[in-house]
Structure 1
Amino acid sequence: MTHPPGARDRLEAIYRAYYPAIYQYAVRRAGSPDDAADVISETFLIAWRRIDDVPEDDEGLLWLYGVARRVLFNQRRGASRRAVLAERLREELAADLRVAPADLDHVRDAFDRLSSRDREVLALACWESLTSEQIGKVLGCTATAVRIRLHRARQRLAKGLGLADEGNPTAELRGESL
């Protein structure tokens, strides 16, 4: 975007003249100092982008108030939208929990004791439900190498859970009955 000659000087003059008023406007209406700072910076950024639209004299202040008002509205609308999405995600996560988190502490402990390499291959297979071929693409190895790594990681996890002494140490980890 190319600005006409003198645009920078004009914006600096507008900023010096109207910053205190826009600052007070934003601080009185925003929910936090960070939100107020965002409103102020966005207002003057819009003024820079639309420098030819900013009226002369005191009309410029009224124009900036209008911009700041819309910025605040968009900020609140975004916060409201994020809050609704966060609540929906919390509800979905709560509905998906089949086992209380406290019941999984021993599994988390055993998982955390694994090497990062074992944790990654198990997480991709179990949490992300990726196939060996897909995991191979993520990790940069062949599907065969993934299957071997996955088998060994399951064995180490089973051993960490105290399941290795049973007939098939990884069957329970795959959801099979022993």
Structure 2
Amino acid sequence: MSSEDRFRRVYAGNFDALLAYALRRVEQPEDAADVVAETFLVAWRRSRDLPPDDEIKLWLYGVARRVLANHHRGGTRRERLGERLRQRLSAVVTDPGRDVPQRLDVRAALKRLPETDREVLMLTAWEGLQPREIAEVLDVSPAAVRTRLTRARTRLRELVGDERDAPGHVLDVLTVPVPKEAR
């Protein structure tokens, strides 16, 4: 009998028992399927070294036990990593819904600005472009961009308000500094 035929027989004769073994030891059925697949992968790779038929079931349980141990260790590592990422993100990310009213007020004010004012503000604040870069995009001089930017900020402040705690005031949109030009 070839090693491939023997493997097929070992697989067919032990799959159900190994799946039941794994299902009783993991939280998710998908994980049990992975454990069994990994166990039979080890058996396939070592098919020439498999123990005699009367010992094969116990050998497969031993392999499945080690695969499960690796699975559980990996799960613990993933949980710890997930917790560290959640802590970092919670420190960095604020509730996106918190700024919605202010953002809506700013967007409404932006819509009321002339197209040239709106574009120069958005290219500066949202795209992070320098005046010389904006000048290239708009096909005007950098001096014209700086003038338009000053006027646009003034108009936007008039529409939204300049009080820090007033509804609609979004500091980062109103006071984004003009990036220093690289020379």
Fold agreement, TM-score > 0.5: yes
Paired residues, number? 134
Amino acid of the structure 2 residue aligned with 1:54: L
Aligned pairs (5 A) from 1:75-154: 75-97=71-93, 99-106=94-101, 148=137
User: Matched residues, percent identical?
Assistant: 40
Given the two structures, how large is their TM-score scaled by the length of structure 2? 0.58
The 3 A distance-change label for structure 1 pair 175 and 60 is same
| Residue number among 156, 161, 164 corresponding to 1:165 in the alignment | 156
Residue 177 of structure 2: SS of its match in structure 1?
coil
Matched, 1:53 2:28: no
Unaligned runs of 5+ in 1: 111-120, 133-143, 150-158
Question: C-alpha root-mean-square deviation of aligned residues, in Å?
Answer: 3.9
In 1, distance between residues paired with 2:154 and 2:78?
A: 43
Return the offset for 1:58: 2.3
Question: 1:66 matched to which residue of 2?
Answer: 62
Pick 1 or 2: higher relative contact order, CA cutoff 8 A, min separation 6. Answer: 2
Question: 1:32 matched to which residue of 2?
Answer: 28
After TM superposition, the runs of 4+ consecutive aligned structure 1 residues lying more than 6 A away are none
Could you say which structure has the larger radius of gyration? 2
Question: 1:43 matched to which residue of 2?
Answer: 39
Residue 24 of structure 2: SS of its match in structure 1?
helix
Given the two structures, how large is their TM-score scaled by the length of structure 1? 0.59
